[in-house]
Structure 1
């Protein structure tokens, strides 16, 4: 895309017992809590043995997290992997907080709410990705807190979830909820409490915590912010203690994928590639863009995708020159190209692939020239996806190559031919790519000038777009738009192409389309 459940035991992550074995009865707290004046439990902030165990991630547990041998919180990701993420975040906070006078640190993340399509008809719930990244909890109206431990240095901490109470009347409509005990059992956090008990933590956050790490400028859950966190941010504004945004620290972690994450993204890339093949196969001129849209979504869902990653672009003919064309409701005529930019989400990770092909199964001479030019540029850019290079470096290389290709094709009129970089920016007005992961345009606060590192996943998506009314370009190319996009894992060696199963060589594309005619 172009850019400008099963529950496991809470102890299974820390012992050798299998996730499916019966668990002994457990409490959501390590020691009994004294009642508060209202007769309700107050969240404990002293770390018990399980808290200390959680904060001390061993090498063997890191290896087990990568192999996925522990009980899974979300498909392919274990309790230990989520605990390791929290540990890494608190390590980053330890470095950021070195020069501060106080040592008490707290991270607060809000889940997404339920969004409604019409009155009381909800959209399918989709969790806030930073919240999801740190605990794997897939329910709305919840709060995750990572609290430093008195007398212990970071990254030692306690992880707590505050979740809605179970309500049989609501579960009749919305399905079962985990409740506090279920949240601990599923995620492996140290403790969980009913959501309303978060109010007992607010005074501590206001007065005692040196720094509250919380994204106040754009809260993911407006009502929880108003109810609980707005008073905290207002109180901190008038004190020496601070509220600092945590978003970018989490994005720094999300930028580098673990082996388990890469495996999930490989699965997403593989099934999306298969969906592209079936959609190419189903193309017969003339064809409705809506049909290709429906075919692509069906093939993704039939192969195990949870949802599409974003509204796909299915653009025939000159409409391919509208970069975010998503109406997808026109007829693609015989002899026209279709540009399909689509991806899916599976187990929380997404794909993002673009292919361009002739709906009648045969590239015309001009279409073939432009297509091969873009393909050559894309292959050259893919080869640059290695440690030390940046997306900005690759973008500049792409512009130079596109300018060169426009000259070789004699596409530009004579008075335009000298400004090749300027022409390249005009006919490819978007960047060469973006980071990819849980979001399509993942980790948006991370600069594209950052040198690539092993474990980063990026897209490479050069294109050339010639509107049909552009008189500065040779007439034979007018109305053509071509983009080719792949998903790439940066490694120590050659880049790993997650979308390698999606055909892009011209003869392969024609062969698939020809089978359908």
Structure 2
């Protein structure tokens, strides 16, 4: 029989057998497949104990504890049996038929558990007497070899438990019964669920809507604001990730400046920015960038990015990357010729002076709205110095005139989303751990006949990412050049 077998097979069969496997043979780790990077499969990205790069299971647990604490404290004067949070993740969306857009997880869901697979739901129940004040249950898409053949591996409920460290996991098909049993045994509870903008419409229509119309709960609340109050204050780990995101984008901007020249297409600068961020290990650009040459810079959210930038025109680029779930957001304006004209330099230095002054106001003594009002006054004063506004304008009139040259706010919160924590008012005082943008601009359309010709068609914005501390603000994007001399020096090195 052996002589009819291939030679290699015969040799293998003749190898000596032994039962002493643990003595000389190396240990073999069984590696299961997960639907997201884990330390075992991606040791270059994650350390042991991390759910997502830089963020540990303990930090995710702390976030959940803090969220439930906020809810309990809000109702401490009211008799309720329990609190339950329903936090759905995002679902895939499709360009056409079965061609999906790149998936981006719903950020409140991601903040609370770190699970990155679409179509999942996190449930938090308050638990009196439990050390962690709650139980956490994650409902995930079940393992499906046919779908995984096309779309990649799923963690399944066992894998999700290993990845996230929540208390328990179930298949998503078990969610309806779970909620039914909860309402049956916990009448008079508070339901925390965002029903007006459901991130998973299928789950909302089939399950959550039915759960809402049952008269078992005492009150229905939106958890978004509570969650965003937590998200607005960054932990040390989050600050590290955002600093890295800012560094990547800053370095990429320098290479884009060097790459630019008269006659370059805006699309080429877009592509260069995307490339430079990705090779520095950013996953994606954080948003569609603005690459606006010449007069197009006066369109605040110009994203066509398909025109030629001519000699002696400025290009305004508003771009940033996403690094392990955290965004950066930078704007720089520079001359593709390598040299600012006199009028361009006057306006540019005006915007830069305004921005530097506004950055110094990013302290706990001020709110973003107060900094915005200061920006308007500073714009008015700078335009008066240049001669573009009447020197007799005072206070309210000056601010009103300045709005004609800068129609947007000076700042927004920054974090997992570019325009982060939108439920948090810009009228509250800044707090240590907040990260905000500072982005004044001056925009003069070429059709504006009230200013001298050489100033027409110029749009300038300068934007940095700033960490609020107990003392002085820290500019996370300080590696991105923004003085006239520095920019012209970089352009000259091209």
Larger RCO (CA within 8 A; separation ≥ 6): 1
Query: Can you list the C-alpha shifts for 1:308-367, whole angstroms capped at 9, x where unaligned?
Result: 111000000000000000000001100000000001101000000000000000000000
Paired residues of 1:94 and 1:155 also in contact (CA < 8 A): no
> For residues 327 and 417 of structure 1, do their structure 2 counterparts lie closer, same or farther at Cα, with a shift above 3 Å needed?
farther
Structure 1, gaps ≥5 residues long? 1-20, 24-67
Paired residues of 2:136 and 2:168 also in contact (CA < 8 A): yes
4+ long deviations beyond 4 Å: 413-418
Paired residues of 2:384 and 2:391 also in contact (CA < 8 A): no
**By how many angstroms is 1:155 displaced?**
5.8
Q: Distance in 2 between matches of 1:216 and 1:417?
A: 47
Q: Distance in 1 between matches of 2:358 and 2:394?
A: 23
Q: In the alignment, which residue of structure 1 is the partner of 2:244? A: 267
1:261-340 to structure 2, matched below 5 A, reads 261-340=238-317
> For residues 301 and 294 of structure 1, do their structure 2 counterparts lie closer, same or farther at Cα, with a shift above 3 Å needed?
same
Q: Distance in 2 between matches of 1:374 and 1:477?
A: 14
1:45-84 to structure 2, matched below 5 A, reads 71-84=49-62
Query: Can you list the C-alpha shifts for 1:427-459, whole angstroms capped at 9, x where unaligned?
Result: 011001000000000000100011111100000
Instruction: Please point out which of 210, 228, 239 is paired with 1:251.
Output: 228
**By how many angstroms is 1:474 displaced?**
2.8
Segment of structure 1 superposing worse, 495-504 or 196-205: 196-205
Secondary structure of the equivalent of 1:287? coil
Q: Does 1:502 align with 2:480?
A: yes
Q: Distance in 1 between matches of 2:394 and 2:220?
A: 54
Q: In the alignment, which residue of structure 2 is the partner of 1:176? A: 153
Query: Can you list the C-alpha shifts for 1:32-76, whole angstroms capped at 9, x where unaligned?
Result: xxxxxxxxxxxxxxxxxxxxxxxxxxxxxxxxxxxx976110000
Secondary structure of the equivalent of 1:357? strand
Paired residues of 1:180 and 1:192 also in contact (CA < 8 A): yes
1:13-412 to structure 2, matched below 5 A, reads 71-149=49-127, 151-152=128-129, 156-207=133-184, 208-209=186-187, 210-236=189-215, 241-412=218-389
Structure of higher CA gyration radius? 2
Paired residues of 1:91 and 1:154 also in contact (CA < 8 A): no
Secondary structure of the equivalent of 1:199? helix
Q: Does 1:492 align with 2:470?
A: yes
- What is the number of residues matched between the two proteins? 451
Query: Can you list the C-alpha shifts for 1:197-238, whole angstroms capped at 9, x where unaligned?
Result: 1121222444525111111111100001112101011124xx
Secondary structure of the equivalent of 1:441? coil
TM-score by length of 1: 0.84
Q: In the alignment, which residue of structure 1 is the partner of 2:424? A: 446
Q: Distance in 1 between matches of 2:230 and 2:183?
A: 27
Q: Distance in 2 between matches of 1:366 and 1:349?
A: 37
> For residues 292 and 346 of structure 1, do their structure 2 counterparts lie closer, same or farther at Cα, with a shift above 3 Å needed?
same
Q: Distance in 2 between matches of 1:512 and 1:499?
A: 17
**By how many angstroms is 1:157 displaced?**
0.8
Q: Distance in 1 between matches of 2:402 and 2:468?
A: 26
Please give the root-mean-square deviation of Cα atoms over the aligned residues, in Å: 2.0
Q: Distance in 2 between matches of 1:240 and 1:141?
A: 25
Structure 2, gaps ≥5 residues long? 1-27, 31-45
Paired residues of 2:157 and 2:170 also in contact (CA < 8 A): yes
**By how many angstroms is 1:123 displaced?**
1.4
Q: Distance in 1 between matches of 2:94 and 2:149?
A: 18
Paired residues of 2:437 and 2:466 also in contact (CA < 8 A): yes
Q: Distance in 2 between matches of 1:202 and 1:158?
A: 14
